[in-house]
Amino acid sequence: MTTIFALAKNHKSSLFLLIFALILGGIGAQASGVLNSPSGGYLVCVNSKTKVVTHPGTSSCPSGSKKIILGAQGEAGANGLTGAAGLSGKNGVDGKDGKTLWNGVKDPESTWGAPGDMFINSTTKTLFGPKNVDGTWPAGVSMVGPKGDQGPIGLTGAQGPIGLTGAQGPIGLTGAQGPIGLTGAQGPEGLEGPQGVRGITGLTGAQGPIGLTGAQGPIGLTGAQGPEGLTGATGPAGPSTPATLGFVSAENDGPVPSAGVLPVYDGSTYTNILSVTLPTSGSYWLSFYTEVWENSNQTNEVPAICGITRNGSLIGNQTSNVSKHFIQNLLSGASAGDVISLVCAQASPGSGKASNASGYAIRVGN
């Protein structure tokens, strides 16, 4: 028998709380029979005089004690309802602006970038930065390390095994039989002679010569034009320059009314399609595009020849005899006010007109 505790007469509520703690904590004697088990409940005894609570671990209480049976644990209750969603939290404070990594073909100038920015001279492979708060750039550091020592020569690898002999290829197809030669003219019939003695069978004669080749047939009709070829791969990216360098562009979606019907190409005659004026002197990367169609509905493509001019004189290469033209060129030594134009002419007489023209010039150096 185990004595648990004694209670004063005026603490009956505490008595039941402690008995409940007894069950939750697993305190008790060895179970016997149906009582004193989770399924049959637990027996506790309360002395009527001393108020001492005992847990005898049997199915009966001593004389003078009150018998109390605590029931088995009930089934779990149903899940409660889901609570309402909490209020959204306040927006956080904006973070600090990030720093920019610039690049160009020369060392950075004091007007380029903001404090904390970095700069790479792509010509000398030199890194500058972070830029100082007073607007100056610190001395650059080369990104190319010194040449390392040559490593030792590796050991000669073992010779690999001899490969298997490949299977014999298939026998080639038999060539076509040559044409039969012309039949010769029949000779005159000779006089009938006396029948001679039958001779022995002669040997097979040699094969006659191959007949003459026949005349060549007429040239066939010209086949229909094939489908338009696939779009070519994107060209290489232009030179990298800081964002502060010059840039001009022009664009004309749809037909270009000012160009009218393109003239026929004779080696020097063109019509101006689109122009840009250079804002400053220096080196510029030029890029222009246009299409040539038979009418404003853009239903029939017209082959044409296009090029780029500087103040009216052709520079660089012209496009070939196609209907869609994408021309790029690097212009060095340009002057402020130079007019750069896209010009085109039809490859043959027709009603071709330029459409969807665009172009730009970006300054890439001094």
Strand, helix or coil for residue 224? coil
For residue 261, what is the DSSP state? B
Residue 56 within a domain: yes
Respond yes or no on whether the N-terminal peptide bond of residue 236 is cis (omega within 30° of 0): no
pLDDT per residue rounded down to tens, the chain (366 residues): 544 444 334 444 444 544 444 444 443 333 344 667 766 777 778 888 887 888 777 878 888 888 887 765 667 778 888 888 878 878 878 767 788 999 999 999 999 999 999 999 999 999 999 999 999 999 999 988 888 889 899 899 899 899 898 888 898 888 888 888 788 788 788 788 788 777 677 677 778 788 787 777 687 676 677 677 677 676 665 544 443 357 888 887 778 777 788 898 888 888 999 999 999 999 999 999 999 888 767 778 889 899 999 999 999 888 888 888 899 999 999 999 999 999 999 988 888 888 889 999 999 998
CATH code, domain with 353? 2.60.120.40
pLDDT of residue 351: 86
Q: Are residues 255 and 361 in the same domain?
A: yes
Strand, helix or coil for residue 307? strand
pLDDT of residue 208: 75
- How many domains does the chain fold into? 3
Q: Are residues 306 and 358 in the same domain?
A: yes
Residue 156 within a domain: no
Q: Are residues 45 and 128 in the same domain?
A: no
Cα Rg of the chain, angstroms: 52
pLDDT of residue 36: 73
Task: Write down the H helix ranges in the chain.
Answer: 12-25
Exposed, middle or buried: residue 176 (CB in 10 Å: 0-12, 13-18, 19+)? exposed
Q: Are residues 58 and 135 in the same domain?
A: no
What proportions of the chain, in percent to the nearest 5, are helix, strand and coil?
5, 30, 65
Q: Where are the beta strands (DSSP E) in 89-233?
A: 101-104, 118-121, 126-128, 141-142
pLDDT of residue 47: 87
Could you say which of 85, 118, 142 is where a domain stops? 142
* Amino acid at residue number 336: A
Q: Are residues 57 and 121 in the same domain?
A: no
Residue 202 within a domain: no
CA 70 vs CA 11, 121, 244: distances in Å:
19, 86, 87
Residue 295 within a domain: yes
Q: How many CA within 13 A on the CB side of residue 259?
A: 32
Q: Look up the domain containing 109 and give its range.
A: 99-142
